[in-house]
Amino acid sequence: MKTQVAIVGGGPSGLLLGQLLQTRGIDSIVLERRTKDYVLGRIRAGVLEVGAVNLLRQAGVGDRMDREGILHDGTIISYGDEIFGINFKEHTNAGVMVYGQTELTRDLYDAREATGGRIIYDVEDVQICDAKSNTPYVTYTVDGVAHRITCDFVAGCDGFHGVSRNTIPDDVRVEYEKVYPFGWLGILSETPPVADELIYASSERGFALCSMRNPVLSRYYIQCSLQDTVEDWSDEAFWSELKRRLPKNVADKLITGPSIEKSIAPLRSFVTEPMQWGRLFLCGDAAHIVPPTGAKGLNTAASDIYYLFNGLAEYYQDGATTGLDAYSEKALARVWKAERFSWWMTNLLHRFPDENQFDQKMQAAEIAFLRTNRAAQSVLAQNYVGLPY
């Protein structure tokens, strides 16, 4: 088989790149290790920056998001029983869109199917070959049968556990990592959200987050131990712990119900440099991971796709490689700022097992400063709605 861009990974990064390329008549093949239902079963991100929203519209997949997504002009932060809002609109003249990654991925699959784009599911043993030459190719098997795709470029969009990143030789690749000593236990429940905006809650018992998908579907998280398993947490235990981490007047309003999904995610900060090696370009979680506290993972994947798509569009339009040559540097410059923000939000709001009373006083002082200082609020707002591409 032959294509212009071979895309390894059919998550949001790979599918979005495929749709954008399609708008310019650039052919691609997406290779996905799982089935479509498996990918759609993963409950992940919920918050989209303006840049991501615009890119989805540009890719022709913004209609349902514009109809069903919820625009948020701010967020709420609580600390014990104290609670305050940060108004993004006031500080940045922008907001964010609450629209689940599951729905966005479904829209991308629908668009790909409608435009006749090729996706091959259940691929195994993917290998990216000759990436340093002008004639790279990708090999894989399906049901034990070997296949090969020759292409001009390879986009490595296969997430943190994919094969693309490790195609770059060890003596070229530099990895930066921080693993946090806790995870997030998340549940989805068919209950109305407790508030109109997201609540990021710091408490003596640990962090909690109240998020949502729509007016009758809520997403809640609590910081948990890395030793915990979902079996350790009944729904009752989850709701009771969540309430203890929220201000009393919020906890009293919380409507609980059976969970329809429950999962634990470890928290990690990770960046690999460079993000390009010859004709292989890494995008999204394949190149970097953030702890979810700043809602930046999917959004940073979208900005990578923006830079790569524009580089590829320029190449196929007039043969110039200026955008492609600058890809790694441009993408990383923005990635590191998202890493910093996510690390900062995580440090500000979580309980760390080895922290002492001084550390706790520092967190409390920083939250108290944020509560009243407009400049501090503006910094948070600018980062949360998304730095410019």
Nearest to ligand PHB of 128, 198 (CB atom): 198
From the list ligand RFL, ligand PHB, none, which binds 22 (C-beta under 5 to 8 Å, kind-based)? none
Closest CA to 305 of 39, 49, 1, 91: 49
Q: How many residues bind ligand RFL (CB under 6 A)?
A: 37
Is 311 a binding residue for ligand RFL by CB under 6 A? The answer is no
Q: Are 337 and 51 in contact (CB under 8 A)?
A: no
Answer for the pair 156, 274: CB distance below 8 angstroms, yes or no.
no
Least distance to ligand PHB, CB of residue 68, Å:
15
330 binds, options ligand PHB, ligand RFL, none, Cβ within 5 to 8 A by partner type: none
- Pick one of 219, 245, 330, 350: the residue that binds ligand PHB (CB under 6 A): 219
CB contact at 8 A, 8 and 154: yes
Mask 23-62, x = binds ligand PHB (CB under 6 A)? ----------------------xxx---------------
By CB under 6 A, name the one of 3, 105, 167, 211 that touches ligand PHB: 211
Q: Are 29 and 140 in contact (CB under 8 A)?
A: no
- Give the span between the Cα atoms of 100 and 45, in whole angstroms: 6
User: Hey, which residues between 313 and 372 contact ligand RFL (CB under 6 A)?
Assistant: none
Taking CB within 5 to 8 Å according to partner kind, which of ligand RFL, ligand PHB, none is near residue 293?
Answer: ligand PHB
191 counts as binding ligand PHB under rule CB under 6 A: no
Binding-site partner at residue 299 among ligand PHB, ligand RFL, none, CB < 5 to 8 Å by type? ligand RFL
> Does residue 154 belong to the site contacting ligand RFL (CB under 6 A)?
no
Q: Is 158 in the site for ligand RFL (CB under 6 A)?
A: yes
Question: Binders of ligand PHB: how many residues, by CB under 6 A?
Answer: 10
Cα angle 96, 101, 104; round to 5: 90
Residues contacting 230, CB < 8 A, separation 6+: 185, 262, 263, 264
- Binding-site member from 3, 6, 7, 11 for ligand RFL (CB under 6 A): 11
Query: Does 284 sit near ligand RFL (CB under 6 A)?
Result: yes
34-60 as b/e: b if 16+ CB within 10 A: beeeebeeebbbbbbbbbbbebbeebe
Q: Is 69 in the site for ligand PHB (CB under 6 A)?
A: no
Candidate list 128, 154, 295, 381; residue touching ligand PHB; CB under 6 A: 295
Nearer to ligand PHB, 202 or 211 (CB): 211
Options 5, 96, 104, 123; binder of ligand RFL; rule CB under 6 A: 123
Q: How many residues does the chain have?
A: 389
CB nearer to ligand RFL: pick between 89 and 268? 268
Beta strand 199-202 with 74-79 is: parallel
Report, as residue numbers or ranges, the catalytic residues: 72, 200, 292, 296, 384
Site of interaction with ligand RFL (CB under 6 A): 8-14, 31-34, 39, 44-47, 101, 123, 126, 157-159, 161-163, 184, 186, 265, 284-285, 292, 295-299, 301
Site of interaction with ligand PHB (CB under 6 A): 45-47, 198, 209, 211, 219, 292-293, 295
